[in-house]
Structures are given as C-alpha cells and as structure tokens.
Structure 1
C-alpha cells in the first residue's frame, strides 16, 4: 500500500513558481495540493498578496494576509531577485519539471532565464508564462487588472441591471480562472514532455481565458457571430412566472419553476387555486397576476432554507442566496469535510477552503500552512540527468490527449465544457444523448421561439442564439450555446434508462478511458451506471461526476443550475450593488466557467495517476465545493474576523478609483483601476481634469476611497463624451 505522499497524482513533479498575486500562485497551489514540490520564489518584499489582506483584527502584517495564506499552502519560500539572481533561477530551473512566471513579456528573456535559456539546460522543462494579453499582438505591453480584464475579455458588460452600471464578478474571478487554466495547460504539456522528453512554453493570456470562459462569454461571442447581436444586462430579470429571484421571510431564493414540466409542480407546491387546470403555455395576465400573489404570500411565510427544501422536494431547481457567513456555518460543508484547519506560527489557527474535488484512488497532499518569507532559504532542486527517454523533436508534435477516448452524459454547460477542453487537445469525445427527446437548456431553449418572440428577446437584451435569429427546422443543431462547446465531438443516442440503452453505454465505456457526467446523482444511480457498475466492465476507467452539491450529505440530490450554485456559495450577494438586493441582477454562471476547467484538470491528474498505477478511479467534483477556493479571501475574512462581507459592487480593498464609467454612445463603458497616486495624476491629465489630482479629497488612495462617490461622479462626467476605444488606448 503506497503512502499518501507517493500516491498523489503529481508525486515527483518539481515546480519553480516566480509568479505573484493570484493567477500563477493559484496554478502552483493546485499543483502542490496534488503532490508537486513547489518552490515559491519571492522578491525581497515578498509576494504583493502578502500586503493585500484580509488580516486578523484588520492589523496588516506580511505573514497574516488571508489571500496569501490561502493561495500559498504546501509551498516552500525563497527570496531571489528576478534580475540580479538570474543564475540562481537558472539553477532552480535545471532541476525542475515546471516553471511558472507572470512578468511582462520579454522580461524573463532579458534577464537571462527566458524559455530558450532554460530549455537549453533542461530540454524537458514546461514553462508557463501568464500575462494579461499574451506574448505577442498589439496589446502585448498593455497593463491590466482584475476589473479591466473582466471588462475587456469577460462578461462584465452583462452583469448587473440595464439601467445601472455593469458589475464585475466577485473577488479575483478572472485571475482564479486563468490560474486554473494554467494548471490544466501545465498538466497537459507535462504529460507530453514526459513521453517525448521535449518541454513546452505555455503562453497564457488572461484576456483570452476570459473571452473563452464558459460563464456566458464564449456563448455570447458565438451568438454575435450567428446574429450580429451582443447580449447586455437585463432590465426585467424576473421575465416570467416561476423564473427569477424572490424575497422570502429571511432573505432571497431563486426557484426554477417555469416550463411545461416545472410550472405545474410550482403551482401545486404553493397551493395555487386551479393549478391542475392550467396550461403552462397559455396563461392569461389575470391568472399570472393571481399566481404571483399566491407565490409571494407563500414565500413570505417561509425562511429561505425551508422554501428551498420544499422546492427541491417537488423536483424544482432551487437555491438560497447565502452570505459568506451562511456558507461557513452550513452543516452540509462541515459534514463533507470541505474545510481545512491549519495552524500558522504568526497568523494562528485558521479555517481555509479545502480540496476542490475528491479522488477515490489518488491521494491529496496533506495540507501544509503557507511559508514564512524566505523560510526555505537555500532550497535547491537537484538536477536530473538522463532521467527521461527522448524522441526526436518534430514541428508536428502530437496533441497531449491523442489516443484518449472520452464518453460523456452531460447537460447544459459545466460538464460539456470539460469534454470540450479535452477534445480540443486531442481526445476522441463521444456524446451520449437521449434518443426520445431533445435536452432543453443543452441543445437550445425548452420552447422554440417564434420570429416575433426572437425580436422581442433581442430588444430586451437577450438575443437568441440561432443563425440570423432563425431556429430553422432543426433548432437543436443550430443553438449557439450547444455549438460553442460541442465542436470536435461525436454524438450517439440511446435511452440510458432502458436495458438496451444501458447495455449500449456499457459497451462504449468498455472502450473508453474517461466518462464525464453532471446529472442529478439519482439519475445515474437509477440508470445503474454508477462507478461500481462501470468499473466492472472497465477497471481502468476514470469517471468524473459533477453534481451541483455532492454525492452525499444533506444536499446530495438537490437540483440546480450554475446560478443556484453561485447563490448558495455566497457569490451572487458578493457581486451585487451595495444599495440593492439580488432581484435586480442579471444571472451569472461563473461556477460553470470554473467547473469546466477544473473538471478537465481533475481528469488530467487521474490519467497521470493511472499511467503510474494502472488504476482507474472516481472523481467527485461538486460545483459548489469547486467554487469555494475562488472566494478564499472572503472566507478567510469570515474565519479570521467574523466579518460577513456585504455586496461589493465594483469596489476594491485598496484602489480608488476602481469602477466602470459611461462613455459616448449607448451602453458604452470603460473600466478604470488606479493603484497609485502617480497613476491618478496621469488619469486626470488624460481626462482633462488636472485639478482633481491636486484636490485634497483625492490626494491619496485612502482619501479617494473616503470620497469615492463624489470622485466616481466627476470621472463619469469626464468620460461621458469620450470614445471608449480611443480612451482605452490613450490611457494605456
């Protein structure tokens, strides 16, 4: 029986991490969490995240920053100057398998440890370079931040309400997503390097990660290509009976109770008069008004958790809007072991977000607290010599997953995104779809809209994703949502609930390496296709299950979309307007964007573990638990200080201004993030308001934060006559 350390998927992998703040450190933390030996190289003053916070009792200290403590567990720390200590960095790279860095394009090369230099001394090295816009292109040297990257690449313009400014997603979402993508890319490149002896240079652009993110952006880009329309923020976020956010006795809830199947269940649950006589497709305005009144009264009498429990019992998708404090105290996560408790010599004993997923055969590295600055001075990685069999280098290298076959029984977004990523890097992916119906929300809308309805939706800021707005005779093949993730895949149909369908799945699985599914757990169990059954026909099979909440625990069989998941883990309230409730927000599906990449990363780990041990395994990746690390700084604030972080809007912990401002034209905006006084003076000069730079109210970051409402109004006025594209380039 192997010990836990040697049974981790990345046991023996050595990583040198020169990155800072969030994206790179999260990538290396994921690698460390599953067995890699990570040496964190910090500048003399430490990683900037050591000064970010939150801090216990709000007392700043470089060894007590919650963000740093969260992202840098299971690592060693050494202090080196990236330029002056180039020879030391090359020495570390000589003994490493992976090097991660996030300096501006060209700097590592100028300092003497760029990819060509380190690959000369270590041909098998995988180097991941994380930058805002990539190593090439017109934006190569542009600066960016979380706010501006969500604005230019991500779905910021779609968040919030149509009559208000757009909102960013909570915390450092774009950087976590990029870090996760870097971890996935690294494991893929590493798998090929270990086969061929040839390393690789990963050029990862956070902007491109956001543009390809499954949280609406990749779908919106496909819709724009199909129709010429771009979705915006919704003005009517409720939209129809049974859809949208509603107030309960003690907060808010979102119950998905619309449609032919769900509306009768909703009406029966609330005891609506005449519910059994209703045609869900034809409800007159008077009926709808009466049902809404009954629904509101029913909710007003119930706490949010009780309402959610009843909705789930009636087969409805539902989620409460939890605060971070609600999440930390939720018995479901305690029972599931979702938290880590660690003692730190300076910060003390704290609760941290734990593993993002469980693996049945491979081990997770034992959690270790974050290092003190330069705690491991003198750390070295012994140089490997003749450790790998090499093949002749060729311009036409095989894709990392060539020869891997993947079956999927997936719905909607998160599960299909896993297999999309695997297919793009060489896997043969086969979708298993129902033979007797078209999956709504996966291959399109539950009710195919008429041309008039299409025009109405476009006018409301919700363009329908069919080419030229026309569903055609086969709308299930024309959906932008489906087509944006189903490329590079094959499709077969069968009814998995019948003996014939189950037999077909088992025959396919016998020839596969991986099966991915993200259904309600009871669906797969009723079909007799759980891991135990599949492993009987293929012991080497890797099965990734992606329930909304878990395969056990109080919420096991709860039904949810990504929007319910985000509400349940506290993200929806965090990303709201400080002066309004969640009922005014457009829907976000940020958890799908995280879970898709995370699922592909988990599969890569399991494949690597199988290569070494010959064992297949079950991976359990709940969407909720996979998203908790993205909220790490807020969870740390709750466990450190008992603080329940309120809605953040576009505010930053330290920077001001840090917001989006209206520009010339309809719904045109620019995101501006100022980190230093000199930057503020430059901003004022470009906007033609130099007097603001000398105004005592705005003389420092603290002063600007104190008077941020006034400052935002003045900057909004100055930006309102400017063209957003021209202003973007001028400010850069």
Structure 2
C-alpha cells in the first residue's frame, strides 16, 4: 500500500492500531494527537505509533493533510458538515455509539467496561454466584481498530458514495464477544425470564505440574478422546461425561478427574499427549512465558522496537508471499509537518523524488486509488471468491467480501461441512438441524453455497476448475488439508497466476506448531488473553469470542491490501494470516510491560489499572447487574453525592485520589454493592449517567437485537430462513454510512447452488450432476445423516 497517505486522529488503542496496521502494509501515516486522549504506557504508545509522522495540530487540521484515508477516533459523533470537509478520502470514524442513533451525539459517558456490559457479552462471562466478568485485554478496542483499518482499505477501492465508514465500539464489541447468543436464542425461543448462565467451559483452563494448560473440545470425537486421554475410558458412552451439557450435571466429579490427571504432567507433556489425539490444546501463556515458546521463537514474532530496542513488540501479524512486512525505525526521510499554508507532508528520498508504488501501467498507487470507479460502485464488485473458510474466522471474511460486492461461493462437502453448522442450538433429532447452527447463520450471509468433496479425484477436478475462474481463494484449514489434496500455493498459483490466496491456519504455515489444531479458545489460551481475564483470586478464564473476529478482521485487512496491488498488476499473491498471531497482538500489552518494565500483568477482574472504583454491581432484580466506572476525581465526587446526599461530597480525604480509592477497593465495592442492590437497574443507570458517571446495564446477550440503540440503528436484520424461520442476523459491525455494505443474500443451505454454479456456470449437465451426487462428490445432506 506504499503511495497511500493516511491521516490519523486517535485517542486510544482503537485509532492507534488502525494507523499502525495501515503503516505496516506500507501506507504513509501522519498522526495528529488528541491532547485530551488517555496516555497509555510508554511501550504501548511506542508500539502503536512507531514510524508514523507525529505532529501537533487540532482536529480541524486533519482535513488539510489531503490524505487518501482518514482515521478519526472521537468521543462522540461529529456533525455532517465536518465530515463533508474531507473530499474524496475514505474516512473511518470510530466512536462509542456510531454516527447515528438515539445515543449518538448525546455525550453519553462510557468506558470499556460499560461498552462490554451494554454489548451483552458481560452477562454470560464469569462464575455462578459472582459478578459477571469483563475481558482483560481491551479486546473490543483492538478488534475495532483492525476492522477500521480493513474497512479503510476496502473503502478507498470503491466509489465515493461509500467512502464514509461508521465504526462504533458498541456494535463491534457486541459482534466480537457475544458468540451469536441472539441467533441461538431466536431459534430456540428461550424466555428472557430465564437468566443467562455463567459457567466456565469444562474442561477449559486446567492446572498442570508447572503451569496452566487449556483445552477446547470442538467435536464429538474430541469429547470421547478426552476421557481416554485423562485415563477414564470407563466414561466412554456416558453422555454426562462426553457432552458439554452432561458434564455440568456432574461438574465437580469431572473437574476433579481432569485435574488429577493434568497435575501429574507438565504443560509440555499435556500438550504433546493431547496433540497425539488431535485434541485442541495449548499452554496458557503470560507476558513472560510466551517469549520462550518454541513456535514464537521460530517465527520471530516478537521483535525489538526499532526506536527503543529495550522492549519487544509483535511483528505485523500477516505475511505477503511468505515475507513479513518490515518496520522502519523512523518516518520516511524528508517527511515534514503541515505548514501554515497547508502543504501536505511528503516522503522525499535523498534524490529529492517522492517514493511511490508503480504498477505495470506505470501509475502511482496512491493517486489512482478508486480512480475511474463509479461513485456508487462497491469496493469488490466483479470479484469471484472461493470461500473454503470454516467456523467464525472464515465465515466473516467471506461474508464481508460479499457485502463489499464480491460474488462469494461457499465451498463445503457432505463429508466435511463447515463446523459452524454443528454448534447448536437445534438438536440432531430436529429436521435439517445442520441448517440451524447459530455460528453458521450469524457468519455466512451474502454467499452462494456449493458442495465439492476434493478428497476424491472428481472433486479435486471440480475445485481446480473453480479455482481457475476465481479471483480470490480463502481457507483456514490446518495446513495439511489442502497440501494433502495437492492444492498448496504453488499448485494453486500454477492453476491461476492472477489469484490471491488467503490462508488462515491457527498457528501459521511454518514453525513447530504449524500442524496443531486450534480454535478461538485455543489461541486465547496460548496468546495470554486467558491469563488476563478472570477474577484475581481465581483461575485464568477464556474471554470466549474475540480471538476469532480479531483474526478475521486481520485477515480481511491483509487480503484487501493484497487486492489493492493485485487488481492493478494482474499478479496473484499468497497472504498468510495466522489465527494465533492476531490474538497475540490483542494480548501484546503483557509482553510490552514485561520487556520494558519487568511487570508481569495479572488478572484484575472488573477493576482497572487507572480508573477507581470500577466494577459490576447487583440491583434489586435477581441476576440483573450494572457496570460503572469512576474515571476521575470529579466523577468520584458525583458518585459519593449520589450514594450519600447528606454528606459533603467526597469528604473522606483518603478517597480523594484514584490511588487512595484503589487502596480501599474492597471496602468501596462492598459499599457500592449495598447501595445498588436495592435499586431498579434502568433507573439507576440513568441517574449515574445524568451525574456524568459512565454506567451501563449488563444486557442479556440472547436478546441484544432488542437493545434500544442497536435496534434503532438496524444492526440486526430479520431474515427469513428455510428451517429456523425469521431470525435476526447481524450486519457488518463496521460498514459504510451509506448503507451500501449490506448482505444481499441469506446464508446458503448446504449445496443449495450446486446446479446454478456447477451446472449453469461450470457447464455440467444434469446427468453428470446426478452421477456426482450418487458418488457423494456433491450433495445437500451431511454424510451419515
């Protein structure tokens, strides 16, 4: 993306990482800092902003930079006149509530905790009998920044009508951490009167002889193999010990057996033995131990910061044609700040010429971004995408490409359906239960569906023909799957030299863990995200969700960047975007703190390192909670007045400062809980907000489509599906303000478009299609059903 100019106005990780990611792909980024923004720890700031041109200026100065892409991170929605001042630039606006809706532009106080509460994910996380639990690594901010960067690269390739992009923290957090509870609840018709459950997965993070180890049982085979692994083969055939639901009925007995086995083995021994069964399993790392992991060392993922080599930072979590982008120590030579006359900052070489990316046609990449594209054109209109993606990561990338205008063909087989189809809530006794998976329906809109079993020669021939006519191929299998079918990058590139291939294996295409099976839960454990999520006095806890959408957004960004070049040069490219490396970025503050300060960051529960007090508290309604944050001394005085109007606000001198309040956090939280426990939840939140205190309801994620702000914004659309009926499905959480980035198709049923694609478009007649169906090469029902 060299040649593209980016202007960044950022306040936090979200805006800073959007600019970081664009710079890593080669764009020239000029950052005008917000003087009122919170100041992260120096190493985090150094990581987020290395290589950018950092210059003083006001928000009004951003437009004078005449950038191709503008990243604006603002405390609330700006007015339309301000946004109209950026000309043809792709402008991505990060705000808490979005550019429109009942909460937008109101100045409603918020914090990361209250966003999580309102998103619906907080209520499902934690342990029974304890307050709901927030995630511990600012996951919503990281995912928002990554999605903002991906949207920016897409928008700059489309028409002017779709270049204003809305990136609301609430919508991203709801999407990234809610696990499609709303889709599942709509299918089952569960009642809101039944409180959401908060149980740790079992097994999940377990103690080993020398640390912690994490499991994720993702298939029926995993469940049976696990009881053999822990030397309890006598439980085979017992549904209470070989299913998720059944184990909770004998939770204590099962957990005791698991831990009796794991405590007898080291972390390395547990991982090795579990891997022999192909059970997803990983060490639970922290900011110190991750640095010695042999896979991380082999891939060279942590590198010295070029400006301050005293600390380590994550490398860019994507590779192009096997090469990871470099980070330069300083901004390009000759870069200068905006003058009073409004001169653009330019990177000048020693010879005095501006560096640029030149395509085969000899045009400058930055100058031609979106040039000649009709105003109403979608960014990827005309592209044919083969989507071999599975689960949430693969599903999101294909769905986003479809919303951005591509023709997306979802490729499954009756032998190997997308695993997302198999995750509830419909029981296997229900008609077409595989068409009612909440993760599948939530993440696969905007596609056509075909089935091709490429494990057999006839299927490989069909897939090769589809590849030859495609522009993009995406997949997130274990590396061995396509390679064993003879469809590695070299083979694919020979079939179609102009094709861009996106590979998203769990741990990457190289390194000692390349063959390890991994899902979101696995890489949350591996990366350190688990280590920082949890109550301070309890075990590490899975954040349950954000690793998948973070990796998906990272993959969409890398793919969109590759297409930016490939669509102009006609040359294909291999893009590698490992699931684990995106999660490691989200957890990166731990490594930054350890290597710069020697500080091992631990679990804080719902507390914050800066704000005090902060927590989740009960109300008069059973299991209905509120979240609140006291970000400064003024907010503390306001809270003290609400809690005890008869006393002089903040009269206790020990509580006048955040340090003093943190020292007495236990006592303060008991007092706040006693005060909130007798009050109605909605009215209490409104009182706190009116006093200027960030507060939110811990919403029930199963019904988040009814959230007053999200419903008014139309984030969920009611979609008529063949078997579940009318179900609310989410749009892209970051999308063009025009409404043009929409889902134009419901999720396809298995093999729904076989005749349309393989017949009408590929040229197979009805007789051949019938033969392929009879041989199981294509079909519409999973094998064995």
TM-score range, shorter chain: 0.7 to 0.9
1:567 is aligned to 2:525? yes
Structure 1 residues 343 and 421 mapped into 2: Cα distance closer, same or farther (>3 Å)?
closer
1:359 is aligned to 2:316? no
In 2, Cα distance between equivalents of 1:404 and 1:677: 54
Once the two structures are overlaid, the 10-residue window that deviates more, 361-370 or 632-641, is 361-370
Structure 1 residues 438 and 471 mapped into 2: Cα distance closer, same or farther (>3 Å)?
farther
Residue 44 (structure 2) aligns with: 67
Structure 1 residues 517 and 563 mapped into 2: Cα distance closer, same or farther (>3 Å)?
same
Q: 1:591 aligns with which of 536, 547, 564?
A: 547
Residue 473 (structure 1) aligns with: 431
Structure 1 residues 14 and 568 mapped into 2: Cα distance closer, same or farther (>3 Å)?
same
Do 2:94 and 2:169's aligned partners in 1 also have CA atoms closer than 8 Å?
A: yes
Q: CA deviation at 1:608?
A: 0.5
Question: 3-state SS of the aligned residue for 2:265?
Answer: coil
1:628 is aligned to 2:605? no
Do 2:521 and 2:542's aligned partners in 1 also have CA atoms closer than 8 Å?
A: no
Residue 483 (structure 2) aligns with: 525
In 2, Cα distance between equivalents of 1:255 and 1:392: 48
Do 1:11 and 1:35's aligned partners in 2 also have CA atoms closer than 8 Å?
A: yes
Question: 3-state SS of the aligned residue for 2:53?
Answer: strand
In 2, Cα distance between equivalents of 1:91 and 1:169: 38
Q: CA deviation at 1:393?
A: 7.0
In 2, Cα distance between equivalents of 1:283 and 1:148: 37
Residue 696 (structure 1) aligns with: 653
Once the two structures are overlaid, the 10-residue window that deviates more, 203-212 or 719-728, is 719-728
1:91 is aligned to 2:64? yes
Q: 2:632 aligns with which of 676, 681, 691?
A: 676
Question: 3-state SS of the aligned residue for 1:151?
Answer: helix
In 1, Cα distance between equivalents of 2:297 and 2:629: 37
Question: 3-state SS of the aligned residue for 1:349?
Answer: coil
Count of residues in correspondence between the two structures = 657
Residue 542 (structure 1) aligns with: 500
Do 1:157 and 1:233's aligned partners in 2 also have CA atoms closer than 8 Å?
A: yes
**1:475-498 residue CA offsets vs partner (Å, 9 max, x unmatched):** 011222211112211111122211
Do 2:467 and 2:496's aligned partners in 1 also have CA atoms closer than 8 Å?
A: yes
Q: 2:396 aligns with which of 417, 423, 427?
A: 417
Q: CA deviation at 1:307?
A: 0.7
Runs of at least 5 residues in structure 2 that lack an aligned partner in the other structure: 347-353, 355-363, 690-785
Give the alignment's TM-score, normalised by structure 2.
0.77
Structure 1 residues 255 and 126 mapped into 2: Cα distance closer, same or farther (>3 Å)?
closer
Residue 665 (structure 2) aligns with: 708
Do 2:215 and 2:281's aligned partners in 1 also have CA atoms closer than 8 Å?
A: yes
Do 1:259 and 1:280's aligned partners in 2 also have CA atoms closer than 8 Å?
A: no
Residue 772 (structure 2) aligns with: none
In 1, Cα distance between equivalents of 2:600 and 2:62: 42
Q: 1:490 aligns with which of 448, 464, 469?
A: 448
Do 1:70 and 1:632's aligned partners in 2 also have CA atoms closer than 8 Å?
A: no
In 2, Cα distance between equivalents of 1:708 and 1:369: 43
Residue 186 (structure 1) aligns with: 152
Q: CA deviation at 1:557?
A: 0.5
Q: How does 1:381-420 map to 2 (within 5 A)?
A: 381=344, 397-420=376-399
Q: CA deviation at 1:391?
A: 5.9
Q: 1:171 aligns with which of 115, 137, 143?
A: 137
Residue 266 (structure 2) aligns with: 303
1:225 is aligned to 2:186? yes
Q: CA deviation at 1:610?
A: 0.3
Residue 539 (structure 2) aligns with: 581
Do 1:664 and 1:723's aligned partners in 2 also have CA atoms closer than 8 Å?
A: yes
CA RMSD of aligned residues (A): 3.2
Structure 1 residues 546 and 317 mapped into 2: Cα distance closer, same or farther (>3 Å)?
same
Residue 682 (structure 2) aligns with: 725
Structure 1 residues 361 and 354 mapped into 2: Cα distance closer, same or farther (>3 Å)?
closer
**1:525-549 residue CA offsets vs partner (Å, 9 max, x unmatched):** 2122211111111111111111111
Residue 37 (structure 2) aligns with: 48
Do 1:356 and 1:629's aligned partners in 2 also have CA atoms closer than 8 Å?
A: yes
Do 1:514 and 1:542's aligned partners in 2 also have CA atoms closer than 8 Å?
A: yes
In 2, Cα distance between equivalents of 1:656 and 1:283: 43
In 1, Cα distance between equivalents of 2:143 and 2:411: 28
Do 1:321 and 1:572's aligned partners in 2 also have CA atoms closer than 8 Å?
A: yes
Question: 3-state SS of the aligned residue for 1:516?
Answer: strand
Structure 1 residues 603 and 354 mapped into 2: Cα distance closer, same or farther (>3 Å)?
same
Q: 1:655 aligns with which of 611, 623, 646?
A: 611
Do 2:25 and 2:325's aligned partners in 1 also have CA atoms closer than 8 Å?
A: yes
Q: CA deviation at 1:471?
A: 6.4
**1:190-209 residue CA offsets vs partner (Å, 9 max, x unmatched):** 0115xx6x672222211111
Residue 449 (structure 1) aligns with: none
Question: 3-state SS of the aligned residue for 2:394?
Answer: helix
Do 1:23 and 1:179's aligned partners in 2 also have CA atoms closer than 8 Å?
A: yes
Do 1:32 and 1:365's aligned partners in 2 also have CA atoms closer than 8 Å?
A: no
1:145 is aligned to 2:75? no
Residue 721 (structure 2) aligns with: none
Do 2:413 and 2:453's aligned partners in 1 also have CA atoms closer than 8 Å?
A: yes
Residue 408 (structure 2) aligns with: 429
Q: CA deviation at 1:617?
A: 1.4
Do 1:405 and 1:512's aligned partners in 2 also have CA atoms closer than 8 Å?
A: yes
1:443 is aligned to 2:385? no
In 2, Cα distance between equivalents of 1:125 and 1:100: 10
In 2, Cα distance between equivalents of 1:398 and 1:257: 43
1:77 is aligned to 2:41? no
In 2, Cα distance between equivalents of 1:282 and 1:80: 63
Q: 1:216 aligns with which of 178, 184, 206?
A: 178
Q: CA deviation at 1:639?
A: 0.8
In 1, Cα distance between equivalents of 2:175 and 2:217: 30
In 2, Cα distance between equivalents of 1:291 and 1:633: 35
Question: 3-state SS of the aligned residue for 1:101?
Answer: strand
In 2, Cα distance between equivalents of 1:370 and 1:160: 44
Runs of at least 5 residues in structure 1 that lack an aligned partner in the other structure: 1-9, 54-64, 446-463
Do 1:149 and 1:210's aligned partners in 2 also have CA atoms closer than 8 Å?
A: yes
Q: How does 1:240-319 map to 2 (within 5 A)?
A: 243-256=203-216, 260-272=220-232, 278-279=236-237, 281=239, 295-319=258-282
Q: CA deviation at 1:105?
A: 4.3
In 1, Cα distance between equivalents of 2:483 and 2:371: 45
Residue 29 (structure 2) aligns with: 38
Give the alignment's TM-score, normalised by structure 1.
0.83
Residue 118 (structure 1) aligns with: 86
**1:95-146 residue CA offsets vs partner (Å, 9 max, x unmatched):** 3112222234465768xxx122332xxxx21222211001222111223221
Structure 1 residues 337 and 47 mapped into 2: Cα distance closer, same or farther (>3 Å)?
farther
